[in-house]
Amino acid sequence: MRKAISYIALAAAAILAQPGIATAGEAWDDIRDILFEDRAVQVASAADVTLMVPYRTSDDGRTQMGARVAAPAGAQIDKVYLVIDENPMPVSAVFDMQQPTDSFYFDMTFRLNGPSGVHLVMETDDGQLYVREAFAKTSGQGACAAPPGTDPKIALKTLGQMDLALVENGTTPASRLVALSKNTQPAVAEPAKVRIDFDHPSHSGLQKDQITLLYLPARFIETVEVSTVDQQPLFTMTGSISLSEDPALSIELPQGAGGLAVRMTDTEGAQFEELFSLGHI
């Protein structure tokens, strides 16, 4: 785990240090080379990777983006990378599967610092890399440096609180969660989705305190570890300053899950844990 976090930090630092990045294409070329060196990155088919990025953001500081990925035949998913090319820390979220899986879905709320290419990279257990790309227009510039929406001292009072909610989609009623918690098999084809809401100011290190006009030290979610209540590890997400203030993460529930255990650790070393029973949301 520490190796993965250091790897992302190193990539971000190297990208920030490079001068002359002018276009989305050039930015991605540099990011790709730093992240994956000389490994081949092939274009994923639309059947394997669906990247969900808005054509234009309605709120640059809180933009929902995500993906549905499926492993090619004969392989399984090992990691999923979400890269926002023009953000100060482009490698915005990395999902490390604790057990290789056939498919994975996520969406999360991010900051976009300006118009940017967005790349989703799926790494399979046989070492292959597959990418899909999109472009997001924004309504302004500088969301990563925008003043925080909550007074920093007030934000610390609820730091680390987490909530779990059902994502209603018209095909997954709340009874689905109760059925899952009883390990029964309801007649619902689509997996249930849940949203985990995190209370965290996600200070980027580029924002100023509006009273003192001093820069707020960077403090953001470093990792989120998600398991089932019976201690079956699902994935670990490594975050970045691209995560929005009070970020929300939606995932699909594994079949038969009776609950989720979530552990969040931030860059100051603060750690918070919650155990959610899916039948009592």
C-alpha distances out from residue 197 to 61, 133, 162, 227, 246, Å: 16, 27, 5, 16, 7
Residue with the two structure tokens 């997996």? 191
CA distance 146 to 139: 13
Q: What is the pLDDT of residue 174?
A: 39
Rounded to two decimals, the pTM is 0.85
Question: Where is pLDDT greater, at 148 or 18?
Answer: 148
Task: Inform me whether the pLDDT recorded for 184 exceeds 90.
Answer: no
What pLDDT is stored for residue 125 in this prediction? 97
Q: What is the pLDDT of residue 9?
A: 55
∠122-55-36 over CA atoms, to 5°?
25
**213: Cβ contacts below 8 Å, ≥ 6 apart:** none
What pLDDT is recorded for position 3? Answer: 45
Lowest-pLDDT choice from 3-12, 176-185, 249-258: 176-185
150 vs 74: CA distance, rounded Å: 48
**Looking at 18-32, 76-90, 194-208, which range is the least confident one?**
18-32
Cα 118 to Cα 134: distance, rounded to the nearest angstrom: 5
Lowest model confidence (mean pLDDT) among 4-8, 40-44, 203-207, 270-274: 4-8
Which has more confidence, 170 or 86? 86
